[in-house]
Chain A
Amino acid sequence: MAEHHSSYVPKTGFERWLDARLPIVRLVHDSAVSYPVPRNLNYFWTFGGILMFMLVSQIVTGIVLVMHYTPHVDYAFQSVEHIMRDVNYGWLMRYMHANGASMFFIAVYIHIFRGMYYGSYKAPREVLWILGVVIFLLMMATAFMGYVLPWGQMSFWGATVITNLFSAIPVVGETIVVWLWGGYSVDNPTLNRFFSLHYLLPFMIFGVVILHVWALHHVGQNNPSGVDVKNYQKDTVPFTPFATVKDLFAMVCFMIFFAWFVFYMPNFLGHADNYIPADPLKTPAHIVPEWYFLPYYGILRAIPDKLGGVVAMFASIAILAFLPWLDTSKVRSGKYRPWFKVAFWTFVVVSVLLGYTGSQPTDKVVLAIGGRTVMDMVGFAQILTAIYFGYFLIALPLLGLIEKPKALPASIADSVLGPAGSGHIVGAHAAPPKH
């Protein structure tokens, strides 16, 4: 909010007294009431608010679940069933929390793809974007450890497979794995530390979210035209009531989608195998991670070398942080970039297909001619992995240099009203710029 005059006027004596000592009401007013929002935002911009709702929902249901859960290999599975059967509305808390993780990822993937399409990572929003990547990484760690806690078969074997990845690190790999496990196999110490970290990480996410929102409010929101705000009167509307009511409407629509799973399909997004108590002596037929990890699992398995696979998998996420510098185009919004659009949608389809390969057995035949296997799932995943990295390392750097973008609108108001529109606001006014 550094650029904007505060439009907060304390009304009562108490407010004036408090404002001189701790301007907290001013902070809320400036960031949630008068904060100027581009007037042309579409519904893809509501997912930030939806994600905030999901984070709070996960923390609240999680805190209640912890009151009844026992982090011990002998009791964890039993205590989850105790929550389902004996705790008042325990089934609701658990199903909200388990499905909430999936909803969180659905929302975050839409949020990320929106940022990628409209070039929200470009200057001056690089730090905002990188903070987002950090939140995403923390979310993945939190979700992975949370899935281990019910101590079912997939919990146990998922933990075994993923922690074993670290053994690929040369020289110290095995030592690191023993350190992660707290022993020589996935066992009670592993469950305990995962539980501890699963409780800690959401609050770290919350901290980084505050930085993310701070950065957002400092640089201002991007918008579908990608054009900077030029005239606050014409181009923006005050956050309240315009964005508030729109975000609320979108949030309730998302809650309907969420409730569909919680009340009617609560186990659809999980694995039946996780209703079998963990058995270290029995490996499930297919060890498959939760759906939101499948694309990365597909990349991991695409590389025949273990260390190479692990490096590729982590690189596929880390590369997001370099996006602001890999994309050489001066034009922010993909709307005005015909070739970028093709590359972007290819990238989206490839990401989904990578998820498909991650869900399938590696030796499954994808392409056979005359009875001879030409391509199995690994081969298919290799092609997709090449395209995935090609998007970042070839398409984005090159397209910015060779692509001829379409004409940009002169201003945000122009993109909504056409060049002749005045964009006069009848209602409240957004805070005018300081300089």
Chain B
Amino acid sequence: MTTSSRFLLAALALSGFAALAQPAVAAGGVEQPPRQKWSFSGPFGTFDRAQLQRGFKVYREVCASCHGLEKVSFRNLSQPGGPGFTDGQVKTLAAEYKVMDGPNEAGEMFERPARPSDRFPKPFPNPEAAKAANNGAVPPDFSVIAKARTYERGFPFYLFDVVTQYQEQGVDYITALLLGYEEPPKGVTVEAGLHWNRYFPGNKIAMGNPLVAVFDDAGKPHDAGFYTDGTPVTREQVARDLTAFLMWAAEPKMEERKQTGAKVMLWLILLAGLLYLTKKRIWSRLEGAH
């Protein structure tokens, strides 16, 4: 940065617009994730059922061994506004999992196949076991992670976001993170057990690139038939599908919320219009009222 541009920055700051001058690269040198297009953004957004089903497949086969989904029940998968599995599919799916139940009449705990009403079993019995298996780091639960991650938009952009309804910072960040594994820049040493990621705050992340489970180093899928619905198996596609699924897991009532919102808004605006006319009529009784 030159002296003159610093001076310009200072002048901006003085006039109360300090944050306007915030560069795209935030503190710590972490880049802002690129904006993605999502089917569920905006006031009428809905989830793409096929995308959620693909994302669930990615979660199950790539993430689930380390990351839990403990607040989601199997039955949620067939509820309206979700991936749209049938009740039968969910029953079969749940039965593939084992959950601990009991005590039985003999006073003993026992394992049984999961039912749709069960929540997803945790991948580790306790945080200590998770730590021991993962180099000292606990893999976070995925139930609300799409709402628990974000990036700083900075002034004045967060003010525009209120109007444009941009609230997909979390999913944009997660997609960017999944695609952000790179060789570290020259001269930067990454300690053992850590990995370089363009979008992770501080850049050094304990989790290795999860997409190596699906793709080789050249970006070609190990199994070209990974998706059975004909969707091309690319790194971007897999990252976006998983992220969309995580958004649904975090906010399973989003479609219901937005659709209720449209009705509420319409009703309120009509009521406001009628009240305004009533108000005008009543106040016109006063001399000198406009």
Contacts and interface: CB of A to CB of B under 8 A. Distances in A.
Partners in one complex: yes
Interface of A: 39, 78, 81, 84-85, 91-92, 95, 237, 241-242, 245-246, 248-249, 252-253, 255-256, 259-260, 262-268, 272-273, 275-276, 285, 349, 353, 356, 360-361, 364, 366-371, 374, 416-417, 421-427
Q: Which of A78, A248, A264, A417 has the most CB of B within 10 A?
A: A264
A361 B6 CA distance: 19
Given A39-B286, A85-B253, A242-B283, A249 B276 contact: yes
B28 to A, nearest CB: 9
Interface string B11-34: 001101011000000010000000
A265 B271 contact: no
A81 B143 contact: yes
A412 B61 CA distance: 74
Interface in B45-101: 71-72, 76
A263 B265 contact: yes
Interface in B249-286: 250, 252-253, 256-258, 260-262, 264-265, 268-269, 271-272, 275-276, 278-279, 282-283, 285-286
A34 B111 CA distance: 71
A425 B155 CA distance: 50
Nearest to A39: B286
A267 B13 contact: no
Given A272-B170, A275-B144, A371-B3, A249 B19 contact: no
A259 B265 contact: yes
Given A252-B275, A264-B165, A423-B287, 8 more contacts: A91-B256, A252-B268, A266-B257, A275-B147, A366-B18, A369-B10, A423-B286, A427-B286
Contacts of B162: 260, 265, 268
Nearest to A86: B73
Contacts of A91: 253, 256-257
A199 B161 CA distance: 33
B209 interface: no
A8 to B, nearest CB: 21
Contacts of A421: 287-288
A81 B279 contact: no
A368 B10 contact: yes
B6 A356 contact: no
Nearest to A352: B16
B35 interface: no
Contacts of A374: 10
Question: Nearest 7 CB-CB pairs, A to B?
Answer: A263-B261, A275-B148, A272-B150, A417-B288, A249-B275, A427-B285, A252-B272
Contact of B161 (A95, A256, A268, A425): A268
A272 B140 CA distance: 14
B258 A263 contact: yes
Contacts of A416: 288
A372 B170 CA distance: 36
B287 A422 contact: yes
B9 interface: yes
B252 A425 contact: no
Given A255-B268, A263-B264, A264-B43, A367 B13 contact: yes
A241 B282 contact: yes
Contacts of B158: 268
B257 A263 contact: yes
Contacts of B144: 81, 275
A387 B149 CA distance: 37
Interface string B128-145: 000000000000100111
Contacts of A364: 27
B36 interface: no
A268 B167 contact: yes
Nearest to B71: A81
B201 interface: yes
Contacts of B287: 417, 421-426
A427 B264 CA distance: 34
22 contacts: A84-B253, A85-B71, A91-B257, A92-B257, A242-B282, A242-B283, A246-B279, A248-B275, A249-B272, A252-B271, A253-B272, A260-B162, A264-B258, A265-B161, A265-B167, A267-B147, A272-B149, A276-B140, A285-B201, A421-B288, A423-B286, A423-B287
Contacts of B278: 245, 249
Contact of B261 (A237, A248, A262, A424): A262
Q: Which of B155, B167, B268 has the most CB of A within 10 A?
A: B268
A295 B150 CA distance: 24
Contacts of A424: 287
Contacts of A84: 253
Contacts of B264: 259, 263
A367 B14 contact: yes
Contacts of A260: 162, 265
